[in-house]
Amino acid sequence: MAVIADKCPDITITVVDINKERIDAWNEENLEKLPIFEPGLSEKIKKCRGQNLFFSSEIEKNIQCADMIFISVNTPTKKKGLGAGQASDLKWVEACARQVAEFATGYTIVVEKSTLPVKTAEVIKNILAASQTNLEKTNKSFDVLSNPEFLAEGTAIKDLEDPDRVLIGGENQNAIDILSNIYNNWVPRKKILHTNIWSSELAKLTANAFLAQRISSINSISALCEATGASVSEVSRAIGSDKRIGSKFLDSGPGFGGSCFKKDILNLVYLSNYFGLPEVAEFWEQVTILNNWHQHRISKLIVKKLFGTITEKKICILGFSFKANTNDTRESSAIVICKDLLEEGARLSIHDPKVSEKQISSDLGVEPIAKENYPANKENNYGGWEFHSDILTAAKGSDAVVVLTEWEEYSTIQWDLIAKSMRKPSWVFDSRSIVVKEKVLKAGLNLWRLGDGN
């Protein structure tokens, strides 16, 4: 919305949310304190907020005066009931549709922005249609469009300003044209694709499934490279130069994270089963099974290299967000790997340039603990962790440094300095292939690099 506000000064945009605290945070004077860290976002907010971009918790009033409403609520995987563990929970979408049905006036275009299972637009349409027949002399009318978002975190502003495509699914050409015209303020016509509404919904799930599948594919090959003496980066380069395959999204890493991939694949699995296609469901499910196996593979390997035990050993974790340039930790592989290491009794010292100690605490489900209080639980030998904002301090006295996120600053670490303060034999585990191999080896450290069988 910040990008639309920036590109279309004549359109007034109000972002509403039932969570008043969040809205207050978006209205925060100090732009450093915005709830999301995303490169370039605070500049847009600074420019447009109070001009044509507003944040408000007055939902009813803003629905009333809106010509177009984007539903952008979360659709988490259902935890219980029908489809638990796979299907998306649509309760927030339904609640929004009901509010829109109740408070909208005149002609309103409702746009699905949240990633939704195929045929959700039908649910929204039914709810909206019911509101039209309920009130006899209603002046309400609606059109529903699907306009999935393909931006990736960390590059969101760039992705929005120069998208590969904008996808608009719908039935009513007039509504489609109105939304297309908004994007056309900065996106060329030929990049704005029109499809039917189901294709649009399915395209979003499929795009994420394909991207995740590429990562699981290359991660599976990384294990084979390690076993056979090949190098996964060389294999990636070799296959990526085939135009049919392409070079993007072939970086082997600690497994994919983020709020979308796992959720969307599970959704696809659920839908395939629902429509009587178990073979299709199994095919896609394997992508998440492999991802999960791969994450645990890394933690097991660390334990193995450190002589089969890490109880009370200090392990420095570099990076906790699911990828660089974001403070988002949802589904981050770091959570799985750190939990495994804690289970083995390790003392973790965690560094991340943007993720807060509080967030890590909530993700790991345990509070940080001071050095003298290890192990945290003497009976089961469960480890503990502490947070450090400085890499050198985080690594001091550790047996191993594990790189889990590809933050730029980890590629320029002075390993000779770090090596001096580590306990010997010391290890560097690089799951992102970003450390400079020669520098690590020259500093006298042992190096394990994901997919590097040399």
Note the residues at the interface with ligand UDX (CB under 6 A): 149-153, 208, 211, 215, 249-251, 253, 256-258, 260-261, 322-323
Spatial CB neighbours of 172, under 8 Å, sequence gap ≥ 6: 143
Catalytic hit among 8, 48, 225, 260: 260
Q: Least distance from C-beta 405 to ligand UDX, angstroms?
A: 8
Task: For the CB of residue 246, give the shortest distance to ligand UDX in the complex, in Å.
Answer: 11
Active-site residue 260, yes or no? Answer: yes
Closest contact distance (angstroms) between CB of 417 and ligand UDX is 27
Q: Note the maximum CA span of the chain.
A: 81
Q: How far is the CB of 212 from ligand UDX (least distance, A)?
A: 7
CB of 396 closer than 8 Å to CB of 371: no
Task: Tell the smallest beta-carbon distance from residue 40 to ligand UDX (Å).
Answer: 15
CA-to-CA distance for 374 and 299, rounded, in angstroms?
A: 20
Q: Are strands 68-71 and 427-430 parallel, antiparallel or unpaired?
A: unpaired
283-289 long-range contacts, CB within 8 A, separation 24+:
284/209, 284/213, 286/216, 287/209, 287/212, 287/213, 287/216, 288/212, 288/216, 288/262
Nearest approach, Cβ of residue 251 and ligand UDX (Å): 3
Q: Which lies closer to ligand UDX via its Cβ, residue 100 or residue 203? A: 203
Task: Give the residue nearest to ligand UDX (CB).
Answer: 258
* 337 alpha carbon, distance to own chain's centre: 17
- Of the pair 206, 361, the CB lying nearest ligand UDX is at 206
Residue 152 backbone phi and psi in degrees, to 5: -110, 145
Q: How far apart are CA 389 and CA 367, in angstroms?
A: 17
Nearer to ligand UDX, 258 or 375 (CB): 258
Residues taking part in catalysis: 260
